[in-house]
Structure 1
Amino acid sequence: MNIALLSAVGSLLLLQSAPAAETPIVTPRGDLGADERATIDLFQNARGSVVFISTRERVTNFWTRNVYTVPRGSGSGLVWDNAGHIVTNYHVIEGASEAQIQLVDGREFNARLVGVSPQHDLAVLKIGGAGFAAPRRIPIGTSSDLQVGQNVFAIGNPFGLDWTLTKGIVSALDRSLPNEGGPDIRHLIQTDAAINPGNSGGPLLDSAGRLIGINTAIYSPSGASAGIGFAVPVDTVMRVVPQLIENGRYIRPTLGIESDDDINDRLKRAADIEGVFVLRVAPGSVADRAGLIPARRTRRGVVPGDIVVALNGRPVDRVGDLLARLDDFSVGERVELTLLRSGDRRRVNLQLEAGN
């Protein structure tokens, strides 16, 4: 028997002994888990209230002097009411000349600016007109009873990927972030739910599908989610947004005193005193009527006047911290300042006034 014949016989035997290919059978999954079903329902109920925001900036060509607009950025927002008000972050629309809103059903609107509060990183836009059909709104919750460890859900448009859901927990409460040129942004909710650029302005929900915050920032050296995100608590949103809708701005409570963090830090080091040095007292203000004395400049340097060391018994040592503490109150409420003057400590009770 030659080699070719042996090879053919061997191949035939191998074909006869090889098992026939089988088609895999799909295994039925069964019902989804109760937690999965709840998450799906939460997303389906809330997604219609979340909007995609794209902004444009007006620029002028240096050579032709022609004016045109270019894309600036994108973010998320939340339908606030049936009148078409949209809540988002101030930094989402900061510097933009135009903003376009896209709803989940594909409708697009040019938005107009209603009001902003940079100190809370909140802004309100307006879309629609007579006969505007608003999507179903997300129920409002509260942030006062949140607990570290409870589940939270973020919906937004990270990196322009629209209507994305991420899940995590409340990692910490009452966080503060410095706000250059203004009060610290206080009482922030920290979460490990993935929040990326584009999520800003979108809602943070609890497991009942209630709004508990507006996603505002991430902490990340790379600019992408590192498991540390922050949200403005809904209790702050509920205090600020109605004022923005009604007045176009947030009317902050004030005492009529001014200071500066850089100067304050130098004075604290020189005097070895922790507190907020009063640098100016507005004429006619509540602080002026109460007799507060500002620091004064002499040939020998700055002579301290009154130094605010506590508000309602809680120590303060930074200007941003004092302003943020005052923001926890409303115009007309009274607060107690603990003051240090020439080494003597005293307390004064003052009624908060409307600031600019």
Structure 2
Amino acid sequence: MTAPPAVETVDLCKSYGGVAVLDRLTMRVARGTVHALLGPNGAGKTTTVRILATLTAPDGGTARVDGHDVVREQRRVRRVISLAGQHAALDDGQTGRENLEMMARLAGRSRAGARRRAAELLERFDLVDAAGRRVATYSGGMRRRLDLAASLVGEPSVIFLDEPTTGLDPRSRQALWDVVGELAATGVSVLLTTQYLEEADRLADRVAVLHGGRLAAEGTAAELKHRYGAQRLQLTLRDAASFAAVDRGLGDRVTHRDPARRDLEVATDGSAPGIRDLLDEVDPDRRAVAAFTVRSATLDDVFLTLTGRPVTADREVAHV
């Protein structure tokens, strides 16, 4: 008998104050994979996670985790999941070891079992040397690692990571990426929401882009780049007048503009004839373009194509 997917939503709906945050969202997360949810703030990422974690009830549709309905079988869902949110849920007054032992005891382990599990996780997350220190003295990266360790005390089969690396420095982010990769390798299913496209590109087996509460696109990072990114021709113009003229001529075909650097980008098929045609179109006299570069699409390009705005455009908007 085929096992159910780790996560499945069908026509999931949720509104706040008459505003639809999720609009018939349907998606599936395969077992033992990392599935990334991308989207600007307000797209519905955190609301999706809260519904799947039984923290918020949907207005319509269905959602299942490990085969269990998140509304009718909340207790069963809670037994198989763990949630690591955007802010570490730790007791600053306790040591790292005490935090983990407390979580293990709450999860039903004996005192000796809690000590063993805490020791395992401290070793796994490279926190042995800091185990006896109060969490208030931890760096941001150490706190995130401890929070993730705490979320694994109960050995969940599905873990939700809601923007886990927000605010971390590059080294701490890299360390957390390594841990997420290890989790998936052991069979844990990971649903990751993130604002960092490099993170999704690096970690995710599949990527889902949410926009306006709907699934705008889904696939592997490579598939999405091929389908929505195309190639990019970057033009550097000789002066401000040339920049303005070429920008005006290309109109809405421009995918990125940087007036300070006098750079414009436009989608292209990457072929030599296509690039020649574009250069002849924008610079028939060969006086306006100082340099050009052809580059492959990134997830940033996919995001911009699907949502109509850069990934950083809404950083100050409240999460929903």
- Please state which band the TM-score falls in when normalised by the shorter chain: under 0.3
**Normalising by structure 1, what TM-score?**
0.22
**Normalising by structure 2, what TM-score?**
0.24
Larger Rg: 1
Q: Which has the higher contact order (CA 8 A, sep 6+)?
A: 2
Question: Which structure has more helix as a fraction of its residues?
Answer: 2
Question: Which structure has more strand as a fraction of its residues?
Answer: 1
